Amino acid sequence: MNIAAIETFLTVVRTGNLNRAAEQLNITQSAVTARLDVLEQALGAKLLLRSRKGASLTKPGFAFLEQAEMIVRSWENARARTNLPRGVTRIFSLVCHPTLWTGLGATWMADLRQAHTETAFEVWAGLPGDARRWLQSGMSDAALLPEPLSEPGLETREFSTDRIVQVATRPREVVEWDPDYIYVDYGPAFRVQHAEVWPVEDTAGSSYSNPDWALAHLLSEGGSAYLPATQVAGLVADGKLFPVTGAPEFTRRSFLSWRELSEAAFPWLAGEAVA
């Protein structure tokens, strides 16, 4: 199938307009139209409703969208693996949950790069659903997630248990409720633990699903938040953040799932958990 046509389809979906897609792809609008025509003829279905106002997905187009993304990812992956830099013999592809990159995934990748100079590394942000598809299709080798994946052909181990600590932008002891408290949602298990410890009816003024965003808000606006100890250790050491005295701690578990077929090339996937 024509990869350029599929990439053009995805660009039109992303921009919502044939003209903008043509600008991004550095081709003419007539070339965009021709590529879409070729793709729709090959599939035997109308993928987009095109008009002067823009372009929108049809039902077949919506059904094809996920497959189109996987086809392009597979093509990029294959191209990367066949054009490795000199001295590099293989490429390792990791899917990392966005909340697990800072202080955990990034540190692990840095250690792997130093220990395995013959390997190139790529990291994709993804949620469990994305990781499951990409592992099963062979586009990725492993996934670092807040939950284990139990699928045929996959192995899983606990990767780490991280402390989640309450920190503030000024030294203080624990209080019943901080009006400047920033809530970070680490998932269902954390929500239950948090509600047991803090059974207050007040709603946090700011809530985030990503600790990186919460940390940026905290440093900019002040207040307090529960953040991974590995993420804030340097800021605490520099006196920019302060552990809240007496505040209870929580834990966050993470899991590494990988393709059984990838373990022969990357035996360190089955290594010990990170402390």
Please check whether residue 143 is in contact with residue 101, taking contact to mean a CB–CB distance below 8 angstroms: no
- pLDDT (0 to 100) of residue 224: 96
Cβ proximity of 224 and 182 under 8 Å = yes
Task: Give the pLDDT confidence score for residue 81 in this predicted structure.
Answer: 67
* 49-54 long-range Cβ contacts below 8 angstroms, 24+ apart: 50/18, 54/16, 54/17
Q: How far is 105 from 211, CA to CA, in rounded Å?
A: 14
pLDDT at 69: 84
| pLDDT for residue 189 is more than 90 | no
pLDDT of residue 24: 86
Q: Is the pLDDT of residue 120 over 70?
A: yes
- Inter-axis angle of helices 211-221 and 229-237, nearest 10: 30
Share of the chain above pLDDT 70, in %: 94
CA triplet 210, 272, 110: central angle to 5 degrees? 55
Q: Tell me how far apart the alpha carbons of residues 229 and 245 are, in angstroms, rounded to a whole number.
A: 14
DSSP 260: G
Determine the average pLDDT of the residues in 198-209. 82
Alpha-carbon gap, residue 244 to 170, rounded angstroms: 9
pLDDT reported for residue 137: 78
Pick 78 or 6 by higher pLDDT.
Answer: 6
Q: What domains does the chain contain, in order, with CATH numbers? A: 3-81 (1.10.10.10), 90-160+254-270 (3.40.190.10), 162-252 (3.40.190.10)
207's enclosing H/E stretch is: strand 206-208
The SS3 of residue 254 is strand
* Most confident region among 48-52, 143-147, 189-193 by mean pLDDT: 143-147
How much is the pLDDT for 7? 87
What pLDDT digit, counting tens, does each position of 128-176 carry?
A: 988 998 888 788 899 999 999 988 899 999 999 989 999 999 999 999 8
Position 1 pLDDT exceeds 60: no
The pair phi, psi for residue 104, each rounded to 5°, is -135, -70
The candidate with the shortest Cα–Cα distance to 182, out of 242, 223, 228, is 223
Q: What's the pTM?
A: 0.68
Between CA 52 and CA 269 the distance in angstroms is 51
Banded model confidence at residue 79, pLDDT cuts 50, 70, 90: low
